Structure 1
Amino acid sequence: MVSDRSKSVRFQDELETNKLMDNNKESHLSMVSFNEVSNDKQKGGKDAIGNKSSEDGRELSRVFSEDYDAAEILVLDPRGHRVNTWNKIFLAACLLSLFVDPLFFYLPVAKKDKCIDMSVGLEVFLTIIRSLIDAFYIIQIYFRFQTAYIAPSSRVSGRGELIIDSSKIASKYMRRDFWLDLMAAQPLPQVLGSSWYLLSIERQNECWKKVCTLQYPHCQYRYLDCQSMGDPDRIAWLRSSNLSSLCDQSSDFFQFGIFADALNLEVTASKFFNKYCYCLWWGLRNLSSVGQNLLTGTRVAEINFAVIIAVLGLVLFALLIGNMQTYLQSTTTRLEEWRIRRTDTERWMHHRQLPRYLKQNVRRHEQFRWVATRGVDEETILRDLPIDLRRDIKRHLCLNLVRQVPLFDQMDERMLDAICERLKPSLFTPGACVVREGDLVNEMLFIVRGRLDSCTTNGGRTGFFNTCRLGSGDFCGEELLPWALDPRPTVVLPSSTRTVKAITEVEAFALIAGDLKFVAAQFRRLHSKQLRHTFRFHSHQWRTWAACFIQAAWFRYKRIKETSELKRKENLMMAFVPGTTGSEHFSAPLQAPKGTMYAAKLASSPRKGRSLRYGPELDILGSLRKPLEPDFTDDE
């Protein structure tokens, strides 16, 4: 076989459900390997698929769908591209046929000379169009004879096996769908308005025949045909006849019933477009009113036609109500489930005597979750899908978000797929506390939409406060990364160094600690020193520590600079003291002024000077713990 996914084909007679016991011996399965089939073809034998084998004379009657492409046969795959393309073309032809077929009813025309004629131009046009459409029906019948079908006995599991035996395909098609397709190929009109027009012509012609019968022998039936308009006898009869007054709607001579409007408005003698639009409106009006405004006569055919209109109107009305009910149910089922859940939640909160502010938070969260998900449990839907499809969907939803994290942007595709598979959606309402400072961190959050406030007090130290804003594309909970990358595993989760609260409604994806640990253990690419600077740069914990470090270094630099400036000024003042020299200046410091001596003592004692002037600033770095960084012992 040519297909890489399948290495064998199955030779088996068709196992119909009603012949399982009778054909037990004939349904023996024999597997022919890929090499055997190829060797048979190379030896000059007939094709292994669809033709008789040179060895056992048996014939392949069914094949798996994935093996179909390797079969050199004329039978079409019902799930193939060619069949799907043809179905679309045939559907367009059927829609055109539904529009063209009723137009044949408009061929008869009642002229003012009291005769019936046929519209020749319209007749030729409709015949050509209908012949072209009929050709599509013939091609459809040919396609059905050449299209494989799935064996009923193979539908127990999987997609089933395709029956590719032409004789069995033809037999099944002749038993079931052939006669339906043959009837569909016939030009049978189905529109009420066109039927009403044709019956109106017939009713008017019947009235003329009745008058002609009364006026016999002066009138003959052939006078009612427009082919005899030039006959002198017909002209003389028409002048002396009272045909127009007798076959009138207001006359009691003949009952026109539901066709009276056609005579009163001269619909039968109007132009094609005018009578087509009026008949279309007549059909819509009576279907929508279920035929309640139809005043029929006593003729059985007319009554039956009115009954058909009423029944069709009721059926269409029932279908409309049913479709509306289905639509309303589909759109309100989730809403009703949410209302029931909200009622249960209200009862539970009332039973537990929750305070007012907690009730408001619960209601706000439930409403936000409904707006965001519409009541659909995405995890349940994804859990029921196959793993490859679930991976593709997760990749579509989360890959761009994960790539926005600079730490993960350097990962390979397999690493990103593993992370995307384990991300779970999370929702937070305004004011919700995602994590508090000092609590254990059990997940990393990747923000999709919304804003959060991240702040720290350095363990509650007085006078220390740092805050920043998180938005779309940011992440928090980075304390888990050193824990997950630690080659010496521990069950103790790290503590959060920041408090994160939602400012607006937040949608995010969460990666729990266990999943992050699994990804870090499976993909050693994460243990790379190339990620160290990226991790430090984008971590808010490291940013805070770096800001404090820079602040402390700046204060240290200012202290050293001011100390040097004080020493320089002291030396200048001592150099200008009267009666002293430069050498005496250093040997007799007590002769200096008191202010100068105090400045020199302050400059010579950095610890004391720091505690007096720069103590609160320089203590920042000593009190702020340096964040833990990943252990990169497994460098690549």
Structure 2
Amino acid sequence: MMNPKQNKYVRFEDWKSEQSSFSNDHKSSSNIRPFHVRKPSVSSLMRSTNRRIERGSERISSRRKPDDFHNVTNKLRKDQSVASKKKVLDPHEGQFLQKWNKICILVCVFAVSLDPLFFYIPVIDNKNKCLHFDNMLKISACVLRSFTDLFYIFHIILKFRTGFITPSSRVFGRGELIEDSSAIAKRYLSSYFIIDVVAVLPLPQIVILIIAPNTNGPIILATNEMLMVVVFFQYAPRLFRIIPLYKEVERTTGFFSGSTWGGAIFYLFLFMWCSNVTGAFWYLFSIERQEACWRSACDKIPNCSSDYLHCGGNMNGNTLLLNSSCPLLQQEDIKDPNDFDFGIALDALQFQVVEKRKFLTKLLYCFWWGLRNLSSLGQNLKTSTFDGDIIFAICISITGLILFSLIIGNMQKLLQFDLVRVEEMRARRWDVEQWMSNRMLPDSLRLQIRRHEEYKWQQTKGIEEDSFIQNLPRDLRRNLKRHLCWSLLYRVPVFEKMDEQSLDVLCDRLKPARFTEMSYIIREGDPVEEMHFLMRGAVSSMTTNGEETGFFNSVHLKAGDYCGNELLAWVISPHSSSSSLPVSTRTVKAVTDIETFALTADDLKFVVSQYRRLHSKRQLQRTFKYYSQQWRIWAACFIQVAWRRHCRNKLEKSLREEEDKLQVALAKESTNAPSLGAAIYASRFAANMLCALRRNNATGTKSSPTFSLLLHKPDEPDF
């Protein structure tokens, strides 16, 4: 049997790696041979084997614990989320997506504005009575359309990389962002993918560049109908795709209707765009009516086939017959029932708009025609009995009516915000005027109140800033106050030494205040209730030291400066009374309309009480004493008194020296008759005494008793 030492040896060989365990077994066994002569028994080997099996099972079970499994899965999810964040974009936080949505909606509007260019490609040759295409316009329209389609394609690719928030997760907060690529693709494929693909198909390019050049005869005459069908077939999805983009941009940034002028420009552009589309369709419709007249005339002319109405076909000399069969007559001039009534297309044919001429002239005329008829709701249209003519006129009337209702309704809604503000201002002004009349205030005081109310309204637009800021979340309110007030607090040398936490508390307790020109913020001798930090404007700070005769000090403060530092000195001073506020030593008057942030005594006392744990108290005391107005005035007066004392002592010393010289000169005289030297010293002494008396009278020796008041030393700040 094994002894306890052998069991201890087996317990000692517990390694984490099987390989190291195996190697160490051999090493240890070789090392203990001198100490353990007897070989291990079978039972001891079995027990050691069982222990090793148990340890191995414990290791395996520990690796399969639920906590470790969750840690591994969380790590994998974190890695997947990090990898997905590199590919999936957040639609609510990404600046790139917001900018791209703005660009995309502008490109979409530009694209639908370019699509009517395809309607201007067919051109009538009135001389040869045939139809052909404008090659330059055809190439330009296809290139521009292909360029805008590239943005559509990139937008489709980007949609597969844009995450979304499930509606079920919007119960609390902003919801959960889905970043799974398969879920994003499935959602997009089931929503707007088909519409985007149909909108980006190059169908007009195929009709113009492939079908039309490779066909002849009646097929090319049908190209107009085919082009009209294709463009209108894609117009619906291309317009429908703008609507969600518009809502997304409007919801996130208010890019189009954020202001009254922005909304007015948007709806004006919408009206002009509809006029452009209407004019382009009228152009193509006029060509269709001319072609219909030629076909009806060709059916009545022998050996005339409508297959050759395209340029390049053989008309067999039927040009004159077609010209006489399709006269351009007004409706009141039509006498023969067989004469063709062109209806609303008569203007385009009479003014030769459908013939080849400058494209800009053609575009402007068609645009003017559409704008004029949409504005008049189609009241001036002279339609024929042709069904297409009537349907087109009905569509113009309905479209114009809808556009006018949209423009008037939305403009009224946009202007209503400004009108509400104006009415609120008028109502408040009326209430203030009634109150001033009931109180029988003088005109000068009424003028000051009116100016203050007007200035406050101009700055806030009727918004109560204090209540608005206080209703914000604490973190957002702190960030806002930090942005507005952080630089102002750093102008105060004492606050500059504070930590960020104390400055955040100060920023959170600042309150906005406004003063009009020539109004007093603080008066000398009044208690100081607030400390003001200037954001805008200029003030004048002056003092007479308690209306002291001959004493005046004035400084000019601008944006970024502060006033009311007596309150800070009162809060810091250990001998200050908690019941009585400090008395102002200066008068602060607004030179212009100013805007400040105010800090009350209670708020300042709270912050300073939390601030007494600073390390460098001596440096803070020196900083406070250097920038304090009380300490500066005391230092200036102290220097003046010291200088005057020095001058007086110097004068007294010189007078004593002169007197000593006179005494010495008088003592040397041995005779009764006065000498010349004694007379000179006596005259000098008298002259010096007169000069000293005059100097003392000029400087005002009566003011010397006031030096005791000026030299009153302020209390030492205690932090």
In structure 1, the residue matched to 2:111 is: 97
Q: Does the 8 A contact of 2:494 with 2:624 survive in 1?
A: yes
> Cα–Cα, structure 1 residues 573 and 35, in superposed 2: closer, same or farther, change >3 Å?
farther
Please show how residues 467-546 of structure 1 align to structure 2 within 5 Å: 467-472=553-558, 473-486=560-573, 490-492=577-579, 493-524=581-612, 525=614, 528-546=617-635
Choose from 375, 378, 399 the match for 1:288: 375
Q: Deviations over 1:409-436 (max 9, x none)?
A: 4444444443333322222223322223
Q: Matched residue of 1:479: which SS?
A: helix
In structure 1, the residue matched to 2:307 is: 222
In structure 2, the residue matched to 1:270 is: 356
In structure 1, the residue matched to 2:286 is: 200
Q: Deviations over 1:452-496 (max 9, x none)?
A: 3434343455x2542313311332211122332245785222222
Q: Which runs of 4+ in 1 moved over 6 A?
A: 32-35, 592-600, 609-613
Question: Which letter does structure 2 place at the counterpart of 1:247?
Answer: P
CA positional deviation for 1:442: 1.6
Q: Deviations over 1:583-633 (max 9, x none)?
A: xxxxxxxxx989979999x99xx9xx999986423223202363534533x
Q: Does the 8 A contact of 2:539 with 2:592 survive in 1?
A: yes
Supply the distance in 2 between the matched residues of 1:87 and 1:593 (Cα, whole angstroms).
102
Q: Matched residue of 2:517: which SS?
A: coil
Choose from 622, 625, 628 the match for 2:708: 622
Please show how residues 186-585 of structure 1 align to structure 2 within 5 Å: 187-188=231-232, 189=235, 191-215=277-301, 217-228=302-313, 231=314, 234-239=315-320, 241=321, 243-244=323-324, 246-250=326-330, 252=334, 253-271=339-357, 272-460=359-547, 463=549, 465-472=551-558, 473-486=560-573, 490-492=577-579, 493-524=581-612, 525=614, 528-577=617-666, 580=669
Percent of residue pairs bearing the same amino acid type: 42
Q: Matched residue of 1:468: which SS?
A: strand
Q: Deviations over 1:101-138 (max 9, x none)?
A: 11111121111211122335544553454355445445
Please show how residues 141-152 of structure 1 align to structure 2 within 5 Å: 141=156, 143-144=158-159, 147-152=162-167
CA positional deviation for 1:224: 1.8
Q: Does the 8 A contact of 2:518 with 2:591 survive in 1?
A: yes
Q: Deviations over 1:264-303 (max 9, x none)?
A: 1111112344322322232233333333332222223212
Question: Which letter does structure 2 place at the counterpart of 1:237?
Answer: N
Identify, as 1 or 2, the structure richer in helix.
2
Q: Does the 8 A contact of 1:411 with 1:526 survive in 2?
A: no
CA positional deviation for 1:564: 1.9
> Cα–Cα, structure 1 residues 38 and 205, in superposed 2: closer, same or farther, change >3 Å?
same
2:130 matches 1:115: yes
User: Which stretch has the larger CA shift, 358-367 or 393-402?
Assistant: 393-402
Q: Deviations over 1:58-91 (max 9, x none)?
A: xxxxxxxxx9546479665434466556545643
CA positional deviation for 1:445: 1.4
Question: Which letter does structure 2 place at the counterpart of 1:297?
Answer: S
Q: Matched residue of 2:317: which SS?
A: helix
Q: Does the 8 A contact of 1:520 with 1:526 survive in 2?
A: no
Question: Which letter does structure 2 place at the counterpart of 1:558?
Answer: C
Q: Matched residue of 1:508: which SS?
A: strand
> Cα–Cα, structure 1 residues 577 and 131, in superposed 2: closer, same or farther, change >3 Å?
closer
Q: Matched residue of 1:576: which SS?
A: helix
Q: Does the 8 A contact of 2:488 with 2:561 survive in 1?
A: no
Q: Matched residue of 2:545: which SS?
A: coil
Q: Does the 8 A contact of 1:436 with 1:500 survive in 2?
A: yes
Supply the distance in 2 between the matched residues of 1:500 and 1:75 (Cα, whole angstroms).
58
Q: Matched residue of 1:446: which SS?
A: strand
Question: Which letter does structure 2 place at the counterpart of 1:496?
Answer: S
> Cα–Cα, structure 1 residues 448 and 629, in superposed 2: closer, same or farther, change >3 Å?
farther
CA positional deviation for 1:185: 3.8
> Cα–Cα, structure 1 residues 415 and 274, in superposed 2: closer, same or farther, change >3 Å?
same
Gaps of 5+ in 1: 1-31, 51-66, 582-591
In structure 1, the residue matched to 2:209 is: none
> Cα–Cα, structure 1 residues 363 and 223, in superposed 2: closer, same or farther, change >3 Å?
same
CA positional deviation for 1:558: 2.3
Question: Which letter does structure 1 place at the counterpart of 2:376?
Answer: S
Supply the distance in 1 between the matched residues of 2:382 and 2:497 (Cα, whole angstroms).
81
Q: Matched residue of 1:394: which SS?
A: helix
> Cα–Cα, structure 1 residues 92 and 464, in superposed 2: closer, same or farther, change >3 Å?
same
Question: Which letter does structure 1 place at the counterpart of 2:417?
Answer: S
> Cα–Cα, structure 1 residues 355 and 157, in superposed 2: closer, same or farther, change >3 Å?
same
In structure 2, the residue matched to 1:155 is: 170
Q: Would you say how many aligned residue pairs link Structure 1 and Structure 2?
A: 564
Larger radius of gyration: 2
> Cα–Cα, structure 1 residues 273 and 357, in superposed 2: closer, same or farther, change >3 Å?
closer
Gaps of 5+ in 2: 1-64, 202-230, 236-273, 671-680
Supply the distance in 2 between the matched residues of 1:127 and 1:499 (Cα, whole angstroms).
75
